[in-house]
Amino acid sequence: MSGSPWAVDAGCAPDCAAHAAPRVPMAESVRRCAALAYAITRGAARGDRLAEPGTLRGQARSILAALGIRLEAGREPLTVPGGGTGTLIVANHISWLDVVAVLAVEPVTLLAKREIGQWPVIGTLARRVGTRFIDREGLRELPSSVADLASTLRSGRSVLAFPQATTWCSAPGGRFRRATFQAALDAGAPVRPVTIAYEQLGAPSTVAAFLGDEDFVTSLRRVAGASALTVRITAHPPLPLTDRRALANEARSAVGRADSPLYAAARVSSA
């Protein structure tokens, strides 16, 4: 494994993604794909208005609803109030649905690999909502990427980042890279760890995982065929700003926990 802070782990193999409950009938799966296409088309038609917080949250929730996915999250905002800066929200990475789920809770700026900006439709939507693109394997660009992220946080905009740099089938996954945490330190911005988890009929599920060299269509077909799928967003208390190594380790430890005292007594459902 490379020593680069942006290095990419091997992640999990595609066969780690599996249904934990019986699939929905084919007709329902097709209906969901059609509903998703309609939701994305409506979002694209909104143009630059898609970046408005209320519009973006509604768009994200419509995508989850189209796919029959239930959202569970807490009442507390993901951003940390006060202080004058944005919040660095760091989460584990399982699926392309992760971003949709977080935006359905609270619209924030996204930090994503540069390749996503070139994806058809998804890339266009990502650019319209103000996504910050980075080259995860470009060491030469690392200092400017960190400085740009710090500037965004200083401006008061909260940012969602996935420090694992690749997807895993469950929350524990791989180690957290340290570069994003340096940006929070430079900006004096709070760091909020967030756990993203998927369940079917109350049991942990890997059906939403987007792994290895799997293509988007294959993943979408599996998600559209999943029954009783729930995505759970669990926020953990902000971390004390120490050094980037400690921050990365503490965030990784927090995200690996199943529950958070901050949200345990205050869950709500939507979508």
CA distances from 167 to 13, 23, 150, 174, 258 (A): 10, 23, 24, 9, 18
Least confident of 173-182, 227-236, 257-266: 257-266
Per-residue pLDDT at 76: 84
Q: What is the C-alpha radius of gyration for the chain, rounded to an integer number of angstroms?
A: 18
As given in the structure block, the two tokens for residue 145 are 């990427």
- What is the average pLDDT across 36-65? 90
CB contact set of 82 (below 8 Å; sequence gap of 6+): none
CB contact set of 154 (below 8 Å; sequence gap of 6+): 85, 86, 187, 188, 189
- What is the average pLDDT across 203-219? 86
Q: Say if residue 269's pLDDT is above 60.
A: no
- What is the average pLDDT across 32-56? 90
Per-residue pLDDT at 136: 57
Other Cβ atoms within 10 Å of 270 Cβ, number: 12
Q: What stretch of H or E contains 167?
A: none
In the DSSP assignment, the letter for residue 191 is E
Q: Say if residue 94's pLDDT is above 80.
A: yes
Per-residue pLDDT at 141: 67
Per-residue pLDDT at 15: 73
pLDDT tens digit string along 101-142? 999 999 998 887 776 666 655 666 677 777 777 765 555 667
Per-residue pLDDT at 166: 72
Per-residue pLDDT at 259: 47
Rounded CA-CA distance 206/106 in Å is: 24
pLDDT tier, 44 (very low <50, low <70, confident <90, very high otherwise): confident
Strand pairing class (88-91; 203-204): unpaired
Per-residue pLDDT at 260: 45
pLDDT tier, 247 (very low <50, low <70, confident <90, very high otherwise): very high
Q: Say if residue 258's pLDDT is above 70.
A: no
Rounded CA-CA distance 153/84 in Å is: 9
Per-residue pLDDT at 8: 37
pLDDT tens digit string along 52-63? 989 999 999 999
Per-residue pLDDT at 265: 37
Do the Cβ atoms of 148 and 133 come closer than 8 Å?
A: no
Q: For 139-143, which contacts have Cβ atoms below 8 Å and span 24 or more sequence positions?
A: 139/4, 139/6, 142/5, 142/6, 142/179
Do the Cβ atoms of 92 and 169 come closer than 8 Å?
A: no
Indicate the pTM of the whole model: 0.86
Q: Say if residue 233's pLDDT is above 60.
A: yes
Q: Could you tell me which residue, 110 or 70, shows the higher pLDDT? A: 70
Rounded CA-CA distance 153/187 in Å is: 6
Per-residue pLDDT at 4: 28
Specify which of 23-27, 72-76, 133-137, 216-220 reaches the highest per-range mean pLDDT.
23-27
Rounded CA-CA distance 228/70 in Å is: 8
Rounded CA-CA distance 182/165 in Å is: 16
Do the Cβ atoms of 163 and 180 come closer than 8 Å?
A: yes
The chain-wide mean pLDDT, for the chain, equals 83
**Burial per residue of 32-60, b for 16 or more beta-carbon CB atoms within 10 angstroms, e otherwise:** bbebbeebbeebeebeeebbeeeebebbb
Per-residue pLDDT at 48: 84
Q: Could you tell me which residue, 194 or 259, shows the higher pLDDT? A: 194
Specify which of 27-41, 93-107, 117-131, 151-165 reaches the highest per-range mean pLDDT.
27-41
DSSP 73-140: EESS-SSPPSSSS--EEEE----THHHHHHHHH---EEEEEGGGGGSTTHHHHHHHTTPEEE-TT-GG
